[in-house]
Structure 1
Amino acid sequence: MLNRVSSFLSRPAGSAWVALAGLPMLVLIAAMLLPLFAGTSQFAAAQFGSAGQTPSDDKAEVAEKPTSTLFPETIKNTTALTPDGTLYIDSKNKALFVRAHVVFTAGLLEMLCCPVQTKEHESILSTPCPPRMVHAGLLALGAETGKPAQFGETFQPPTGEDLTITLLWKDEDGELQSQAAREWIRTATRRYFTAKLPQLPEGLKLPEEEKLRYDSVRNELLHYGVVTPELREKFLKLTNDPAFHNAVKELEKTSQPSTMDADWVFVGSSFQEDPDSNTPRYLADGGDFICVANFPAATIDVAVRSSASDSERGYEAFTENIPETGTPVLIKIQRTTDLAKGGETPKDR
């Protein structure tokens, strides 16, 4: 394990750090992570990306408090892997804890979490911890990297170690809450849904004020957004045509949102030489940390086809399940195989 972490860290950090033989494993890992952290922004600086949603003054003040103050019981038996307390490792329970905060609660998504000041306009969470640090921490847990999604004649989903991601936060009463990360994400509803319809019933004119359209080229009935029971009944009253009724019912069925059920995998991003500094750059540090849309630079991605195109976005924020903007969150990341070995049934696979 130590060799794998050392090999990864040697690329961006060089070999300037000294040999630390004889120290405990986690101390060795933490020591190796420090040079990798050098040059990154401190935790209290630039907490909220300008593109995200603005938190209240109270929430912004809370978010600046150190992790050890906000989540003392959760991290009391962990080892800090960053000097600013944004990444911790629990060797006994084989888990990483990444400090983050809520920046986006409604709209289409590309990310569950992004680095600060990158993709806050399409990511529920933002973290001051560089993704390359989390990559090194996952290697320390024994996780194996995979390959990014391949688009072509045949789609190949991203591969890598299957990960379980859980989110922890404090409610308004100060009680610690925990929920599978996928519960904060649902299938996208802000798009057009379609149902086959050979032709519109003769003489039927669709109401202009509604988001119901007919495509005579593709012979499809379309509706933008969720078809509620009220809308269904309104549309069914437009005509007695059975084919039209079936299409409306199909639109209602397919437009209902559901919690994301895709697995997350440790893709591992990649390094690319920075033309300005001539040093390796970890690509996910540019924004693609924990993704819900497929990106070749992702550290962690969903193991299904999920487009980043605005017209084809697969997921959106599950607003009703997400605490308000500015809420501090700990992202708990574990290898799913470790949970299975421990006899647990993962909440999030």
Structure 2
Amino acid sequence: MERWDEVVVITGASSGVGRATAEALARKGCTLLLAARRGDELVDVARRCRESGARDAIAVPTDVADTEAVERLARRAEEAFGRIDVWVNCAAVAAFGPLAEVPPDIFRRIIETNVLGCVNGARAALRTMSPRGSGTVINFSSAVAPAPVPYNTAYVLSKAAIRSFGATLRQELRLAGRRGVHVCTVIPASLDTPFFTVAGNYSGRKAFPIAPVYTAERAARTVLSLVRGPRREAFVGPAAGALDVLSRVSPGLLERLLGPLTDRAQLSRRESAPRSAGSVQHPFPADAVDADDSGRGGAVDGGWHGRRRTALRRAAAGTSVTAAAVLAAWGVSSSRGGRGRAGP
């Protein structure tokens, strides 16, 4: 099997997509710097990555909202391995609930972690990549960036900002002549991770992913494809690409569809949830989010696959997206036809 030589920094590496990405890159033989707030879990991830084939894997407990901590992470990589080839910004937190119910300090912390954490990571990475003239920064946005949903305002705002952030960085690098330095934005649909278990919740209703739900490993494979062939944006799952198209073709229709869909499919009407900040301010203990029954002791998935509930939601979501696409296409076609008839 081909061995890769990249030195990769991954934030949010203790669970979910970050962990799945670390494991996938370890199997390729990469050298890994793994960052997250949960130090004990991170050490275990690093050990498992070394056992899976990583040339080396170092755990560096880091709060990405802390600029100095992220700079220390970058220096650790440079001191240990002399360079950073790829930086993957995966760390993210969220809190469900109407805007008026989410405390201001929780809202602020989400923006700091998701947006400033991404900015801190990119700044640290580009500081070492730009002089070398090569490297790749991979930022995780979300399908809610082009297709906003209610009851998760800070998260939606942060993911839209990350997508725009990638566009501005690409322009700056192009203007500076740094064509060997790439900034990629990953835009996934719902992913099967512990995200919904550890998110804050001020809605009073248990949160679920909106189907279709894709695996964290699928997102990790997208990251691997960007390491080998960088491109400006990459969607994870057809639903993410479809939502992006609909957001441009018929944004008003998409808003009208997503509001009720989120209210019915993402927040339970039967299962309540206690008011909680979740992992926004402080990380959950590993055993509180360990949904993996495969014996690895990890928290890559959130246990949302293989259930009848998910299958039903997948069918409902697929029907909604298809209907939206048909209606949007019909609307565009009709309006164009109308303009043609009314032309000079």
The interval holding the TM-score normalised by the smaller chain is under 0.3
Question: What TM-score, normalized by structure 2, do the two folds share?
Answer: 0.23
Q: Which has the higher strand share?
A: 1
Q: Which has the higher helix share?
A: 2
Higher relative contact order (CA 8 A, sep 6+): 1
Bigger radius of gyration: 1
